Structure 1
């Protein structure tokens, strides 16, 4: 993520964001992702926010690298025992065949549409063959800012599937939902686990 206004929102609202998921147990989607990983999996939490998902990953026995463009989010994530958190953008994804899983839960939707193929290709390269990639985005078309000035790129299932396949992924089944986020607005979303 390189949009300065979006990063500024997360810097200012990091504590508020950390309260959105206070559960001590992983979501159904995260639990399924964790159950599909090998023991002691090396996982990248991309756009980790305050480290909520990373905490569940560590508790499940994973070795976790957590990246986020927001300094305030990284400050919170770095307080999670066992998480190696650092400030970085999507363009900082590198390495070849080093991760057993990449978790990009409502993070890549902040990247401009024109950058998504490059990011997905880098993620595919960083994953070990056959490994897992979870991505969740808001459903729809176009790009827009929400009421608190975060930039979003919206995707349909067909478009996201095409992008994932072009990056070398095998695409699994989709999940759909509708939730309130940090802005308080209801939004439809889609998520999918793909395989490198």
Structure 2
């Protein structure tokens, strides 16, 4: 790892496999995305943090939200930009500098690649980017500590207790809820997922 908040091998994977990864057939809108959007005011500003191929940004834009797509992989960002017809910000999560800019932050299957040692620092930057009262969704593959999958990607594989500690270290939240679910990974491996929903205090 070159930095405690990102993994170069994982970024290289997404650049190398961008076409295949972004070309997967995915549901048009997941129930979690629908619930996230329902908690926002009409036309809200949303940061799609780790937008991948832009599928979720596309749904949010169609629903009338003002979306800022962002990804750490230049390869994925290029594909998302072509899909969305608008610029996609290429930026590492730990370099996020926005302050009180977004009504919501959607980080679906993206912060799970942040090395454990840097997760609280990245979460603090996300918290700062939210407006007071802003909502934040992120999902993680559950586990008992960081490691790599069969494709060489790094995952932090946290427990629920570890996530609560990292979010607590990032700053105070008005609400924090963690739900478990079962899903499949890119390589079709069934995993337990942890879906975290928090609100920045108003």
- 1:23 CA drift (Å): 2.7
Q: Is the 8 A contact 2:51 2:70 kept in 1?
A: yes
Distance 1:112 1:90, change over 3 A: same
1:175 aligns with 2:166: no
Q: What CA RMSD, in Å, does the superposition of the two structures yield over aligned residues?
A: 1.6
Query: Aligned ranges for residues 155-174 of structure 1 at < 5 Å?
Result: 155-167=158-170, 168-174=172-178
Contact persistence 1:164–1:171 (CA under 8 A): no
* 2:53 aligned partner: 50
Contact 1:42 1:99 in 2 (8 A): yes
Q: Does 1:115 align with 2:121?
A: no
Deviations 1:71-108 (A, max 9, x none): 11001111233654121101221121110001111111
Residue pair 2:146, 2:158 contacting (<8 A) in 1 also: no
Equivalenced residues, count: 195
Deviation at 1:21, TM superposition (A): 4.2
1:98 aligns with 101
Q: What is aligned with 1:147?
A: 150
Q: Tell me the TM-score normalized by structure 1.
A: 0.92
Any conservation in 2 of the 1:42–1:63 contact (CA below 8 Å)? Answer: yes
SS at match of 1:175: strand
- Partners of 1:32 and 1:50 lie apart in 2 by 21
Query: TM-score w.r.t. structure 2 length?
Result: 0.90
Matched, 1:188 2:176: no
Gaps in structure 1 of 5+ consecutive residues: none
Partner of 2:26: 22
**In structure 2, how many angstroms separate the alpha carbons of the residues matched to 1:158 and 1:2?**
22
Shift of 1:17: 1.8
